Amino acid sequence: METLLDVRKLTKRFGGLTAVNDLSFSLRQGEVAALLGPNGSGKTTALNMISGFQPVSGGTVLLDGKRLTGRPAHWISHAGVARTFQLVRVLPSLNVEDNILAAVMFRKKPPAKETAKEEVQRLLEEVGLAGRSNENAASLTYIDQKRMELARALASQPKLLLLDEWLAGLNPSELSIGIGLISNLNEKGITILLVEHVMDAIRALCPRAVVMNAGRKIADGATAEVLRDPEVVRAYLGGAHAVA
Amino acid sequence: MITAFSFAALAAVFAALAAAPFFLGTYGIGFLLGLVGYVTLASAWALFSGPTRYVSLATVAFFGIGAYTVAVLYETLPSWLVLVVAALIGLFVALLVGLSTLRLAGVYFVIFTFGLAELIRQLVTWYEVNVTGTLGRYLFVDYGPEVVYWKLLALCAVTLAIGYFIKRSRWGLALKMIGDDEVVAEHCGLPTARVKLALFAASSVIITLVGAIQAPRWTYIEPTIVFNPTISFLTLIMALLGGAGRLWGPVVGAVPLFLLFEWLSANFPDHYSIILGLLFIAIVFVLPNGVLGFFEEHWNRLRARGSAGRTELSQDREAG
Ligand SMILES: Nc1ncnc2c1ncn2[C@@H]1O[C@H](COP(=O)(O)OP(=O)(O)OP(=O)(O)O)[C@@H](O)[C@H]1O
Ligand SMILES: [Mg+2]
């Protein structure tokens, strides 16, 4: 299958700290992969550079062979990359419907307003927020805000979806719904890169995992094997998270 | 129905304002002219600063540029062409300033825009003294104050119409997105830098035109008059009083404050700026979202209280 995302020697320095160091990996079209690593290993920073939220210190990111690095975030969004944020970001003064409408109306090919509103309703249904259009985004619970953020990401019709600990904080029944949702999205053809600490979800969703430690890639391969890799185990035991 | 009615009412108000010079003396026309000028300034200011929440004190920089362009060119070019030239100069300066400063956040932007107005005033003063060899310029046009007033009224209508059409289109949503979270707006695919620049340019061109249209009113122009920072501050507090995020906010704020300032400057010319300062502080503390925001908030709270009462009732029923 074809390569969708190609990350080459990606590097990010914050003053003296190298948060992401020479990171290279690629994703095939239609793949779901996990990006793992202990706290502070640079996962979020890597997503930030791919989505254009933060400029890179070095390296390149290609999507479908097109160079994303150096482009502003809206351009990258139009190229087909959408994301959710580890700490949820909503448009607090807008209601739920307008939060999603925002992404529909400013994606690469926006539809007419009426069609857009119907589409928003479908998206809200998909993430479990049907009938909540008029609620204020800021007053939603944290979990509902996360759902809304996912709907917003989907509204831009991405080829590649970056999820930063989107499943964190869900209770067991919400978790299985969330896992089902993500695997549905993948079946529709969206390529997904999942930053996650919830091991059950990783095992259920991701045949492949890339593992980072202190900014560097330390493993890349089939999830089950990667999780047995002694270096990965050591990195996790050294960090705050134990591999269950 | 309601919109048709409001349009008719609005058209009637503008028609009455347009006819007013036939019934008023020179003082009345001058008064209305000042009023419409400030309504336009405040609305134009809010076009950019309302949604983006960038507080600009560059108002008088553009206003003065407009006035000076007219003072320099009015004898050589037809008056419509002078306005076009003024608008182009305003646009050029706005793009220059916008490209270099819209990355500045918060208080840096405020200080920069204030500095810009002062800088342009100093430059004009320096040029006039050292190159032209005069400080002021006389400006005698062959039309009366009512013509100035009509031009200004037309500009005011255009400004409000621009605000209205922006609000109705998807760009209205874009502005709310930028006001809420620029990072999210960018990730939704909105080119925030370009939108902000376009807004700043539109707002600045209108402000430049207000200065250009009003210039003949003074007959004598010098930098301290047309680059007077009080113009920036008045515009700002009028927009804030009414609510800069709403289409009618600046109008609601500009009318009573203009009346108040006219009265104050007539009756307390010495204490005028102190009272202005106090009022400024009071508005920022008491009405951070403006009068319209204040009413909207209270209205929402009342409604929320009503619906909260209802959900409590239904929960009681479920429990029982
Ligand atoms: N804006 C920033 N300025 C300075 N340092 C930063 C910044 N953002 C991240 N860092 C540092 O870079 C390193 C990597 O952070 P990052 O958030 O990418 O880790 P992470 O793998 O996502 O961790 P977690 O699992 O806790 O979310 C950390 O040491 C962090 O403190
Ligand atoms: Mg993180």
Domain that holds residue B104: 4-229
Do A22 and A58 belong together in one domain? yes
Question: How many other C-beta atoms are found inside a 10 Å radius of the C-beta of residue B175?
Answer: 22
| Residue B308 included in any domain | no
Report percent pLDDT > 90 for chain B.
42
In this prediction the ipTM stands at 0.91
Do A151 and A168 belong together in one domain? no
| Residue B239 included in any domain | no
| Residue A126 included in any domain | yes
Smallest CA–CA distance, residue B276 to chain A, in Å, is 31
Do the Cβ atoms of B85 and B77 come closer than 8 Å?
A: yes
Do A107 and A131 belong together in one domain? yes
- Residue B232 sits at φ, ψ, to 5 deg, of -65, -45
| Residue A85 included in any domain | no
Do A102 and A117 belong together in one domain? yes
Last residue of a domain, one of A155, A186, A208: A155
Render pLDDT for B256-270 as a digit per residue (tens, 0 to 9): 888 988 888 888 888
| Residue B255 included in any domain | no
Do A74 and A33 belong together in one domain? yes
Render pLDDT for B165-197 as a digit per residue (tens, 0 to 9): 998 889 989 999 998 999 999 999 999 999 999
Do A150 and A175 belong together in one domain? no
Render pLDDT for B101-159 as a digit per residue (tens, 0 to 9): 877 777 888 889 999 999 999 999 998 888 888 878 888 888 888 999 999 999 999 99
Smallest CA–CA distance, residue A30 to chain B, in Å, is 22
- d(CA A166, CA A103) in angstroms, rounded, equals 19
Domain that holds residue A147: 90-155
Whether the predicted pLDDT of B318 surpasses 50: no
What are residue B137's DSSP bridge partners?
B221
A157 CB within 8 Å of a chain B CB: no
The secondary element (H helix, E strand) that includes residue A47 is helix A43-51
> How many folded domains does chain A comprise?
2
Smallest CA–CA distance, residue A243 to chain B, in Å, is 33
Decide: helix, strand or coil at residue A36.
strand
- d(CA A165, CA A193) in angstroms, rounded, equals 11
- CATH number, domain of A57, equals 3.40.50.300
Partner residue opposite B174 with nearest CB, options A75, A106, A113:
A106
- A1: pLDDT confidence band, cut at 50, 70 and 90? low
A interface mutation test: which of B187, B190, B192, B289 has the most A CBs within 10 A? Answer: B187
Do A164 and A237 belong together in one domain? yes
- B304: pLDDT confidence band, cut at 50, 70 and 90? low
| Residue B60 included in any domain | yes
Q: Which residues line ligand 1 (CB under 6 A)?
A: A 14, 17, 19, 37, 39-45, 86
Do the Cβ atoms of A140 and A148 come closer than 8 Å?
A: yes
Render pLDDT for A111-145 as a digit per residue (tens, 0 to 9): 998 899 999 999 999 999 999 999 999 999 989 99
> How many folded domains does chain B comprise?
1
Residue B92, token pair as written in the block: 């050029």
Give the predicted TM-score (pTM) of the model.
0.86
Render pLDDT for A56-101 as a digit per residue (tens, 0 to 9): 999 999 999 999 999 999 999 999 999 999 999 999 999 999 999 9
Decide if B181 and A72 are in contact by the 8 Å CB cutoff. no
Last residue of a domain, one of A98, A123, A155: A155
B176 CB within 8 Å of a chain A CB: yes
| Residue A143 included in any domain | yes
pLDDT on residue B305: 60
Whether the predicted pLDDT of A156 surpasses 50: yes
A90 CB within 8 Å of a chain B CB: yes
